[in-house]
Amino acid sequence: MIRHIVMWNHKEDFTDEEKAIHAQRIKNELESLTQIIDGILSLNVMINPLASSNREIILNSLFESEDHLQKYQIHPEHERVRQFVVSVVKDRVCIDFQVEEEL
């Protein structure tokens, strides 16, 4: 299994209300991909981090294999969502790693 974690911050020219709307849309659209793309074991987007955090939106997902992650990344529906995400965020931090067993 492959754990795929991505974190973003909004561009600074948005109001808090706009950021909340964008974050909710990102959450809804990314989480809906579990019904569309094969190989996603879990996919959760957190949009309410604690004040001690230095990222505003967090994607935490688990894929059956690295091949499934790669297919997800080029899937047309993921690409559609990605285009929106890129339009409202200023940065991206990502880590992917192999996991043997989830607790």
Q: How far apart are CA 66 and CA 61, in angstroms?
A: 12
- d(Cα 93, Cα 37) in Å, to the nearest integer? 22
Q: Which domains, ranges and CATH numbers included, belong to the chain? A: 2-98 (3.30.70.100)
- Minimal CA–CA distance to 22: which of 83, 80, 82, 89? 89
Residues 4-40: pLDDT tens digits?
A: 999 999 999 999 999 999 999 999 999 999 999 999 9
Whether 96 and 4 have beta carbons less than 8 Å apart is answered as: yes
Q: Which residue has the tokens 């981090």?
A: 49
pLDDT tens-digit map of 52-101: 999 999 999 999 999 999 999 999 999 999 999 999 999 999 999 999 87
